[in-house]
Amino acid sequence: MGTEARSIAPLRSLTLDLPPSCIEFCPGHPEYFVVGTYNLQTEADEEKPPVADDEEQGQRSNKSIQTRDGSLVLFRLTGISDINHEQTVLYPSAILDLHFHPNREDRSILVVVSSTGALSFFKLCASEGSPASLKEISTHRPLGDDEGVLLLSCSWHPHIPELLAITTSSHEVHILRVTDSWEVYETCHTPVITHSLEAWTVSFSSLIPHIPATESSESSPQQFAIYSGGDDSNLFATGCAYYPNRIGGEDDVIETPYPPIAFRGHEAGVTAILPLDLQLALLDSVVITGSYDDHIRVYAVNGDGGGMPPQRPRLLAEQNLQGGVWRLKLITLERCGNSTSEREPGVEETPGKEQGWKALVLASCMHAGSSMLEITGQGTTELCEIKVLGRFEEHKSMNYGSDFQPGSELGGRNIRCISTSFYDRLLCLWEF
């Protein structure tokens, strides 16, 4: 099926000052995007960039503290192929991940995690008549002052706006509570998940949290699933119970009543997790993963939306993408012939009803560049297929970050994408 993939040419390319590690468009101002960079200040250090494609990466947390810095670079897309540099914000440590909040403050708040355990919030200010800029709101060290622990990734909860998950080079997954004034607090005295090597990535279930029926609705927890991937080749999932009424007290705000379950099938580190906003027949939901072993995989799980931890993960499909799958970004999701990238929450299909689905996904595939994927499946069978529709292979080094411009997927237009590569510091604009 790989012979069907279309080769994609760049519309515009430019070279950055520092190696790019992550990128995201601003959903509140979709003409703007931010690139995070990662720079080693000492030439003597041969350490890999924020990720690695060899077995030695698992030993990184045992090394001495390195001297790294980075930056946030704000760009604006104008016209057909113009990329305008708007601002560079220097940052005292290397940027490892960044994400805009999906709904708070006009979706213009950016969270950044870094190589010294620091976490920062920025606001993208973009109004007519004045230059756009990123303004720092606050910086925190949510897990303490140990600068030897890297914050490797972060993820906002799609339905509970104050919850933010982070992963660390010390193998842990934590859930933080972010206040309206952008202060940060731990929700649990211990990690919600612990790996045996670096915890590369984390994602909350995309389904609406379950609230059990009790006599006192105020004391009822919001129950949801969380997934994490590690350099130990494990994809873990567990169920969480969030008690907002405990805020300000001594008890944990989030409990994990059940031990994590492991998904089988990954032959190297798990680096990308994409839960789909689908709830299919027999309460199945769908989770897509990426790994250092060059494969993308599609799993069905039970129990994701009912308060229990996910159960009985089954591998539906897998495909070799010729490069380590570092990031996955959902572009569109179709069911019942209705296409949407942000479907109305809470819409579920009747169990037992035959229901097909189709997802368009942008994959960042490290040394293989970026790929545009179509993943299709059925709601009442375990039939699933992965197709590579297009490949962007202009990058000559590791493609760690790619994103699409929000809105470009609508109305039958070409989807506008930005992809980056690390060692050659290349940034490219292309369309599919």
Single-letter amino acid, residue 405:
Q
**Tens digit of each residue's pLDDT (9 = 90 or more) over 31-40:** 999 999 999 8
What's the whole-number average pLDDT of the chain? 88
Nearest to 274 by CA among 212, 341, 224, 227: 227
Can you give the pLDDT at residue 382? Answer: 78
d(CA 369, CA 324): 10
Residues 6+ apart with CB under 8 A from 313: 237, 261, 263, 264, 287, 299, 300, 301
Q: Extract long-range pairs of 16-19: CB within 8 Å, 24+ residues apart.
A: 16/73, 16/420, 16/425, 16/426, 16/427, 17/71, 17/73, 17/88, 17/425, 18/70, 18/71, 18/425, 19/49, 19/422, 19/423, 19/425
106 phi and psi angles, rounded to 5 deg: 60, 25
379 phi and psi angles, rounded to 5 deg: -80, -25
**Three-state SS for 262?**
strand
Q: How far is CA 305 from CA 240, 282, 311, 414, in A?
A: 11, 11, 11, 34
Q: Which two tokens stand for residue 424?
A: 């050659």
**Tens digit of each residue's pLDDT (9 = 90 or more) over 72-111:** 999 999 988 999 999 999 999 999 999 999 999 889 999 9
Q: Are 198 and 230 in contact (CB under 8 A)?
A: yes
Can you give the pLDDT at residue 342? Answer: 46
**Dihedral angle of Cα 123, 118, 113, 172, to the nearest 10 degrees:** -140
**Three-state SS for 105?**
helix
Can you give the pLDDT at residue 52? Answer: 52
DSSP state of 201: E
Nearest to 90 by CA among 52, 43, 49, 41: 41
Q: How far is CA 172 from CA 3, 152, 165, in A?
A: 40, 10, 11
Q: Which two tokens stand for residue 321?
A: 């993408």
Distance, CA of 343 to chain centre: 18
352 backbone φψ class: left, alpha, beta (φ>0; ψ -120 to 50): left
Single-letter amino acid, residue 221:
P
245 phi and psi angles, rounded to 5 deg: -70, -15
**Three-state SS for 392?**
strand
**Tens digit of each residue's pLDDT (9 = 90 or more) over 329-365:** 999 999 864 444 444 444 444 444 457 899 999 999 9
Q: How far is CA 282 from CA 225, 303, 346, in A?
A: 17, 9, 16
pLDDT tens for the chain, residues 1 to 432 = 445 789 999 999 999 999 999 999 999 999 999 999 999 876 544 445 465 543 344 344 444 455 899 999 999 999 889 999 999 999 999 999 999 999 998 899 999 999 999 999 999 999 887 899 999 999 999 999 998 999 999 999 999 999 999 999 999 999 999 999 999 999 999 999 999 999 999 999 998 898 887 655 567 899 999 999 999 999 999 999 999 999 888 899 999 998 999 999 999 999 999 999 987 765 578 999 999 999 999 999 887 665 567 788 899 999 999 999 999 999 999 986 444 444 444 444 444 445 789 999 999 999 999 999 999 998 767 789 999 999 999 999 999 999 999 999 998 889 999 999 999 999 999 999
Q: Dihedral sign, CA of 293, 297, 301, 305? A: positive
Burial annotation 291-306 (CB, 10 A radius, 16+ → b, else e): bbbbbbbbbbbbbbbb
